[in-house]
Amino acid sequence: MQMWSKLAFALLITFAPVLSAAPIKVLWWDSTPEWGGQALNAYRQEMSDYLTAFGGGGIFQSTYVGSETPGTLAAHLGANTYDVIVFDATSPSAKFDAADLDAVRGHYATKDNLLLDGTLYIRSINYNSTTEFPGPGGDTGRLTANEIYQLGARGGGIMIGTDHDCCQVDANQILNGIVPGASFSGFTIPSTDGQWNGTDLLVTSIASVTPLNVLNHWDSVPSEAIAPTGVFTDFFGNEITLFSQVDVADDPGGGPRYSYISTSWKPSGEIIDIDDPDDPNGAVPEPSTYLLVASGLLVAVGRRRRGA
């Protein structure tokens, strides 16, 4: 990345808490097919609408676009700007062209935080009661809000969500376009043998999440992707490290643990068990308090199942 770009980015980070008093502008880009009615566009849009309404409104301003046509993303980004782009991408085929990838790199040039989620597809699908968004106890909805908030509060960035290895082509198109060599992979089956590597970012950010509810959601549709971790070089030649936020061993446990969610920032806070039955912050805040909590923080500083 050019020196001036890095300087501009540093200044953006420095003043982000003040500038972010405005809602975080989100583009929810849905390239996931409807999978015979299991992942209707309306189900995917539900997550975007949830963000806009979260905490009574005012924290996020999310725009939903559903398109599987290459070139439409570039056209849209040519006329609009966002703090965070969410790629809801669970397809067995390519959905983006060279112009689209150039547009994504343009966004990443100044908003280079990344969050990679191998569990996004099952978050809002027609499969069972746990996949009815916002999920058990509302916790998969709150997890989504925490993910987007962390990206926005850090100066903006990109979230890519997908599912297991039958359907990661579009997600990996976007990811490889900005971080060559980093890819989603695998087919995992979650067990209770796992941990969240920090509590104060994705689990207790602007909304407190009960880990057991998230595990029950994953376990009800056992086919999550492995999110890439490690040291890579991005498209601009800059080193980027992807850290695991949650590690889970395949059922029944005892084997290697795989990252379900990785980020370009280190997890923070105490480690908690993935099957912890308690809210790590105690009582979940009432919805009316979310806006107040978020405002204070700002100013102060996942497709078709196997066999389906």
DSSP annotation string for 244-305: EEEEEEETT-SS-EEEEEEESS---S--EETT--S-TTSSPPPHHHHHHHHHHHHHH---PP
Whole-number Å distance between alpha carbons of 279 and 143: 13
Per-residue CA distances from 303 to 14, 134, 166, 197, 223 (Å): 39, 17, 9, 27, 11
Q: Provide block-wise average pLDDT over 10 residues at a time, the chain (308 residues).
A: 33 33 95 96 98 97 98 98 98 98 98 98 96 96 97 97 97 98 97 92 91 96 96 97 97 97 93 87 37 35 29
In a domain, 45, yes or no: yes
Query: Could you say which DSSP state residue 163 is in?
Result: -
Please, are residues 236 and 174 in contact by the beta-carbon 8 Å criterion?
no
In a domain, 170, yes or no: yes
Please, are residues 158 and 195 in contact by the beta-carbon 8 Å criterion?
no
In a domain, 10, yes or no: no
Tokens read off for 253: 């446990």
In a domain, 205, yes or no: yes
Tokens read off for 265: 């920032």
Number of alpha carbons in the 13 Å side-chain half-sphere of residue 216: 17
In a domain, 305, yes or no: no
- What confidence score (pLDDT) does residue 72 get? 98
- Quick one: which of 90, 98, 20, 88 has its CA closest to 48? 88
Contacts of 287 by beta carbon, 8 Å cutoff, 6+ apart: 55, 56
Please, are residues 219 and 133 in contact by the beta-carbon 8 Å criterion?
no
As for how many domains the chain has, the answer is: 1
36-60 as b/e: b if 16+ CB within 10 A? eebbbbebbbbbbebbbebbeebbb
- What confidence score (pLDDT) does residue 160 get? 98
Please, are residues 144 and 51 in contact by the beta-carbon 8 Å criterion?
yes
In a domain, 16, yes or no: no
In the block, residue with structure tokens 């905490």:
55
- What confidence score (pLDDT) does residue 281 get? 60
- What confidence score (pLDDT) does residue 295 get? 37
- Quick one: which of 206, 227, 204 has its CA closest to 214? 204
Contacts of 270 by beta carbon, 8 Å cutoff, 6+ apart: 198, 199
Q: Which residues span the domain enclosing 132?
A: 24-300
- Quick one: which of 170, 183, 175, 144 has its CA closest to 90? 170
Please, are residues 159 and 115 in contact by the beta-carbon 8 Å criterion?
yes
Whole-number Å distance between alpha carbons of 141 and 134: 4
